[in-house]
């Protein structure tokens, strides 16, 4: 078990293989374990680093009153610096993709960016702007009174814009997680509230995608919502040296649903980039 101090937090990470470095970031309310399993074959050619983001898994929480996406970006910078990860390729899923995008756009040292099933920071329509700035913050403000479970159906509906959200094969995700650790207790409520606020902070950022000067790959599952697909395609259009790929037969947790396609797409990208 390895940890490194990042901005006052003992961050849990795992590192396998030798060669060019690839760092993988998980989504909100998850942890490193799925990426750890799905990237094993990459360790034959690359140094693969997976870690638990602040408030998740074995990294645990902190005394900070609130988190933002930039909190996680600062943690990633600290990890890269502390472990001397020279210009890694950074790959993030969902919230991890948001962190990866922001890290790339704010000058974090890297040689390539992969964003999987992650929204861009830009609202792509007036309705989405109202959702991000008014409706979602208002709904989450109610959680202190009625609890998150009471507003969760509305938040989910609003976030997916009425589309059927396919989370992917959750039974397979659970199998992977259970096979890799039996002492994970989930995200505590106090940390969960900070994570939700970090997600809300994404819509207030002004991320300059045109400033990203490394190769980039934006992907999302073929069973994703129209909204998520639009954001992935937007990233590919705005980042100068980027392309978009659809992951067939996959929902939000695409690395669970179609690991072979994700692995092959990553391998092709890494061989062109590193």
Domains and CATH numbers, the chain: 2-121+166-273 (3.40.50.1820)
Helix-then-strand count for the chain, H and E: 12, 8
Rounded to two decimals, the pTM is 0.92
At 178, is the secondary structure helix, strand, or coil? helix
For residues 161 and 93, what is the distance between their CA atoms, to the nearest angstrom? 20
3-state secondary structure 124-175: CCHHHHHHHHHHHHHHHHCHHHHCHHHHHHHHHHHHHCCCCCCCCCHHHHHH
* Length of the chain as a residue count: 274
The whole-number pLDDT of residue 151 equals 67
Residue whose token pair is 């704010």: 106
How far is the C-alpha of 180 from the C-alpha of 34, rounded, in Å? 9
Q: Confirm if 232 and 219 have CB atoms less than 8 A apart.
A: yes
Q: Which two tokens mark 247?
A: 């992951």
Encoding tokens for residue 113?
């960016």
At residue 41, the pLDDT reads 95
pLDDT of amino acid 131 = 82
What pLDDT does residue 160 have? 64
- Tens-binned pLDDT, residue by residue, of the chain (274 aa): 699 999 999 999 999 999 999 999 999 999 999 999 999 999 999 999 999 999 999 998 899 998 999 999 999 999 999 999 999 999 999 999 999 999 999 999 999 999 999 999 998 988 888 888 887 787 777 777 777 667 667 666 666 665 678 899 999 999 998 887 666 667 888 898 899 889 988 988 999 999 999 999 999 999 999 999 999 999 999 999 999 999 999 999 999 999 999 999 999 999 999 8
User: Quick one: tokens of 107?
Assistant: 């000058």
Q: In the prediction, which pLDDT does 107 show?
A: 95
């Amino acid at each position: 078990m390895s940890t490194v101090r990042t901005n006052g937090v003992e961050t849990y990470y795992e590192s396998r293989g030798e060669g060019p470095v690839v760092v993988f970031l998980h989504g909100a309310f998850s942890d490193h374990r799925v990426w750890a399993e799905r990237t094993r074959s990459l360790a034959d050619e690359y140094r693969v680093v997976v870690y638990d983001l602040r408030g998740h898994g074995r990294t645990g929480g902190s005394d900070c009153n609130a988190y933002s996406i930039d909190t996680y970006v600062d943690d990633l910078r600290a990890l890269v610096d502390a472990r001397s990860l020279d210009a890694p390729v950074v790959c993030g899923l969902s919230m991890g993709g948001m962190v990866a995008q922001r890290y790339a756009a704010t000058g974090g040292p890297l040689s390539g960016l992969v964003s999987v099933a992650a929204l861009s920071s830009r609202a792509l329509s007036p309705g989405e702007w109202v959702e991000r700035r008014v409706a979602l913050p208002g709904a989450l403000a109610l959680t202190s009174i009625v609890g998150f479970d009471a507003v969760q159906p509305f938040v989910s509906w609003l976030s997916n814009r009425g589309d059927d959200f396919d989370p992917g094969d959750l039974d397979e995700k659970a199998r992977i997680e259970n096979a890799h650790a039996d002492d994970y207790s989930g995200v505590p409520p106090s940390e969960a509230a900070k994570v939700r606020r970090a997600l809300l902070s994404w819509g207030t950022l002004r991320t300059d995608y045109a400033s990203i000067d490394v190769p980039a790959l934006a992907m999302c599952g073929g069973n994703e919502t129209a909204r998520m697909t639009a954001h992935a395609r937007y990233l590919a259009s705005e980042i100068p040296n980027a392309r978009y790929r659809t992951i067939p037969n996959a929902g939000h947790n695409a690395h669970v649903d179609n690991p072979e396609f994700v692995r092959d797409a990553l391998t092709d990208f890494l061989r062109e980039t590193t």
